Amino acid sequence: MTQPTTDSIPLTKTTRPYRMGWIAMLALLTALGPLSIDMYLPALPVMAADLGVKTALVANSLPAYFFGLALGQLVYGP
């Protein structure tokens, strides 16, 4: 029997920090969606008061945010 060959790049001292940087960046990008929602929802009444409209009208911008978030995840991945 023969050993299967793998075409993977061995992790060296230079590729490990580079890989950890990508992992950290992806983790921060994943946390960006929930963080922005947590900041956006409490600000709805303040935005409505500043714009001089009802809170329900400002809340209509929330589905647009969710659509953009979902579209971004479909295009770039989760």
- C-alpha 16/C-alpha 13 separation (Å) is 6
Mean pLDDT of 35-46: 91
69 vs 50, which has greater pLDDT?
Answer: 50
- Determine if the pTM surpasses 0.75: no
DSSP class per residue in 17-77: HHHHHHHHHHHHHHHHHHHHHHHHGGGHHHHHHHHTS-HHHHHTHHHHHHHHHHHHHHHH-
Lowest mean per-residue pLDDT among 12-16, 28-32, 52-56, 63-67 = 12-16
Confidence of residue 9 (pLDDT cuts 50, 70, 90): low
For the chain, give every domain's residue range: 51-78
At residue 44, the pLDDT reads 92
